[in-house]
Amino acid sequence: MATFRDGLLAGKTAFVAGASSGINLQIATRLAQAGAAVTVLSRSPEKIEAAAAGIRATGAKCIGIAQDVRDHDGVGAAFAKAADTHGEIDILVSGAAGNFVAPFNGISYNGFRAVIDIDLVGCYNVMRQGFQHLRKPGASVITISAPQSLHPYPFQAHVNAAKAGADMLVKTIAVEWGPQGVRVNSIIPGPIADTEGMNRLAPTPEAMAKSAKGNPMQRLGTKDEVADLALFLCSDAAAYITGAIIPCDGGLCLQGAGRVGG
Ligand code: NAP
Ligand code: COA
């Protein structure tokens, strides 16, 4: 059955960073389903090639690139390869992230740096290196943030700081890039079912159930629901939306800071 998604992005190209699994893979798959030629990137050669092969199996054009977003020059080379293969980039999604649960005094210098370097500096690398390859005017850039950007979740000091920083980058760049016809927005997913992120934050069935029950919508979200918001943001229907930090969280963020796992 045809849906509103089919053909929406025909002739467009997309680059999704951190897309070997989870929410970002679902976004890449949705963009491909809508007709975009897609590049997916993550660290693991095996995982990213499997993800790209899965998308190609649906009949879409897709290449996978193994690259750590912490390597500024390497990210630049990845964009050059993507542009060589598919042409200028219409849709750029920055979603690579790392997380673990630990009290501030249990986060070593290396641990703090790892999360800041992936979630914040990695986002800078993707935006900074990607810009020259964006189609201007018309490109849409989306970052994948988290509720930790808005509220101080305990045992998440590194992620709180990194995601808040990345969302401020979004707002700043939206103003700077607007005159060139590039929109920049951020999605804040709530607790999303069947993801590595939730498995880390709510590692037991009881914690998972508590997180679902504590949400105003009384359930976890789905990867599809986040992917549909991404599709909307990169479509012409969102042509006047930029610099927005948009929760897709069942209302979770309205309740202020919680504890990880609900
Ligand atoms: P996930 O499946 O673990 O996705 C993380 C992705 O980032 C993977 O593809 C991983 O692949 C890649 N990655 C990690 N470090 C990288 C690096 N240094 N360089 C390049 N790629 C890297 O987790 P997820 O739960 O779906 O999370 C996806 C996004 O949603 C994240 O930005 C997260 O903060 C956000 N989010 C998730 C939830 C949730 O409920 N799950 C809630 C709020 C926000 P490799 O291991 O191959 O590198
Ligand atoms: N508690 C405390 N410290 C931890 C930790 C934990 N659960 N997990 C990792 N660390 C520390 C390590 O001990 C190390 O510090 P040290 O050298 O002082 O011992 C530091 O973090 C870096 O760990 P390392 O495994 O070398 O980093 P990495 O770059 O290979 O991996 C992570 C980055 C730690 C973020 C890893 O969890 C990861 O790759 N995550 C990606 C998937 C993910 O998190 N998905 C959910 C997205 S929301």
Position 30 in a domain: yes
This prediction's pTM:
0.98
Q: What is the reported pLDDT for 258? A: 80
Spacing, Cα 243 to ligand 2 middle (Å): 30
Spacing, Cα 129 to ligand 2 middle (Å): 25
CATH assignment of the domain containing 207: 3.40.50.720
CB 41 within 8 A of CB 18: yes
* Number of neighbours of residue 17 by Cβ within 10 angstroms: 30
Q: Which residue has the tokens 């690579």?
A: 96
Spacing, Cα 96 to ligand 2 middle (Å): 14
Position 132 in a domain: yes
Position 257 in a domain: no
- The span from the CA of 58 to the CA of 179, in Å, is 37
Taking the CA of 260 as reference, the closest ligand is: 1
CB 143 within 8 A of CB 174: no
Position 259 in a domain: no
Tell me the pLDDT tens digit for each residue of 204-258. Answer: 999 999 999 999 999 999 999 999 999 999 999 999 999 999 999 999 999 998 8
Domain count, the chain: 1
Position 7 in a domain: no
Q: For a pocket test of ligand 2, which of 100, 153, 200 has the largest count of ligand atoms closer than 8 A to its C-beta? A: 100
Taking the CA of 110 as reference, the closest ligand is: 2
Position 253 in a domain: no
Beta strands in 198-249 (DSSP E): 245-248
Q: What is the reported pLDDT for 199? A: 98
99 lines ligand 2 (CB under 6 A): yes
User: Under 8 Å CB-to-CB from 258, ≥6 apart: which residues?
Assistant: 147, 151, 153, 214, 252
Q: What is the reported pLDDT for 236? A: 94
- Counting from 1 in the atom list of ligand 1, the atom nearest the Cα of 23 is 26
Position 3 in a domain: no
The residue whose C-alpha atom lies closest to atom 39 belonging to ligand 2 is 98
Q: What is the reported pLDDT for 204? A: 97
Helix or strand run (H / E) with residue 205: helix 205-213
Spacing, Cα 44 to ligand 1 middle (Å): 12
- The span from the CA of 15 to the CA of 79, in Å, is 8
Position 5 in a domain: no
The residue whose C-alpha atom lies closest to atom 40 belonging to ligand 2 is 98
Q: Which residue has the higher pLDDT, 250 or 6?
A: 250
253 lines ligand 1 (CB under 6 A): no
Name the residue range of residue 228's domain.
13-247
Tell me the pLDDT tens digit for each residue of 142-151. Answer: 999 999 999 9
Spacing, Cα 147 to ligand 1 middle (Å): 14
Q: How many CA atoms lie less than 13 Å away from 157 in the CB half-sphere?
A: 11
Spacing, Cα 33 to ligand 1 middle (Å): 21
Percent share of the chain, pLDDT over 90: 95
Tell me the pLDDT tens digit for each residue of 157-210. Answer: 999 999 999 999 999 999 999 999 999 999 999 999 999 999 999 999 999 999
Residue 2 scores a pLDDT above 60: no
Task: Quote the Cα angle for 60-63-68, to 5°.
Answer: 140
Q: Which residue has the tokens 């199996």?
A: 57
- The span from the CA of 248 to the CA of 233, in Å, is 12
Q: What is the reported pLDDT for 1? A: 52
Tell me the pLDDT tens digit for each residue of 19-47. Answer: 999 999 999 999 999 999 999 999 999 99
